[in-house]
Amino acid sequence: MPSTTLFDKTGAEKGTVDLPDTLFAAAVNEAVIHQAVTAQLNARRIGTASTKTRAQVSGGGAKPYRQKGTGRARQGSRRAPHYAGGGVVFGPQPRSHEQRLPKRMKRLALHGALTAKYGDGAVRVVDELGFAEPRTRDLLTCLEALKAGGRVLVVAAADVNLELSARNLPSVEVIRPDSLNVVDVLNADTLLITEPSLSTMAEVYS
């Protein structure tokens, strides 16, 4: 069973903590992780891009000039695609970019992402991260003590003071243990997980 050091908010070691095998000792399947990331990013796309075809562009009812005798190529409408202001050929239309992915593949991708982060030494476990009042300075002091640098993903239960303390830090994101996703895990340089969240993660994603 994988294990790591357990810290408190001051950065002092309190011992070790066991990590769930299913989450932090899984196979890292890069192909499945890539599919999960692609599906998640595509689901974020709005898909509202829209263009008008020659049938939808206003005007163009009259023939530009007579069919024969001008020496020019015959034309039927000023709204043809090769005219300025004309319709668009095969342009984008509103659609959904969603890609359906089996739940089992999503779970396998998340297991692989968490295992990869653990293998890179990017996982920190802290006993608790509660604050008496929301103060960004206190959270920064805590992150420095825990040596959580770069982009930090804090996995903790719902805590208004913690969320407000991290709101002004663009490199810190707070997420609940039952809302993990592959993209946020992979984007983080450090995963800071509270000890109670480990049991929730094991229950939800095992």
Residues 172 and 132 in one domain: yes
Residue 60 has pLDDT above 90, yes or no: no
Residues 127 and 27 in one domain: yes
Q: How far is CA 110 from the centre of its chain?
A: 12
How buried is residue 90: exposed, middle or buried, by Cβ count under 10 Å (0-12/13-18/19+)?
A: exposed
Residue 19 has pLDDT above 90, yes or no: yes
Residues 190 and 130 in one domain: yes
Q: What confidence category does residue 24 fall into, taking pLDDT thresholds of 50, 70 and 90?
A: very high
Residues 67 and 110 in one domain: no
Full residue range of the structural domain in which residue 183 is found? 3-46+100-205
Residues 80 and 108 in one domain: no
Over residues 83-132, the pLDDT tens digits come to: 999 999 999 999 999 999 999 999 999 999 999 999 999 999 999 888 88
Residues 42 and 68 in one domain: no
Using the 8-state DSSP alphabet, how is residue 166 labeled?
Answer: H
Amino acid at 13: E
Residues 26 and 127 in one domain: yes
For residue 161, give the CATH number of its domain.
3.40.1370.10
Residues 72 and 163 in one domain: no
Dmax (CA) of the chain: 94
Of 29, 64, 91, the last residue of a domain is 91
Integer Cα distance of 64 and 126 in angstroms? 75
Integer Cα distance of 89 and 57 in angstroms? 12
Four-point Cα dihedral 166, 170, 172, 178, nearest 10: 90
Q: What is the pLDDT of residue 9?
A: 87
Residues 31 and 124 in one domain: yes
Residues 108 and 198 in one domain: yes
Sheet with strand 190-194: strands edge to edge: 13-18, 3-7, 123-126, 190-194, 152-155, 172-175
Residues 118 and 58 in one domain: no
For the chain, the domain total comes to 2
pTM: predicted TM-score of the whole model, two decimal places: 0.82
Q: What is the pLDDT of residue 107?
A: 94
Residue ranges with strand state E in the chain: 3-7, 13-18, 123-126, 152-155, 172-175, 190-194
Q: What is the pLDDT of residue 186?
A: 96
Residues 152 and 181 in one domain: yes
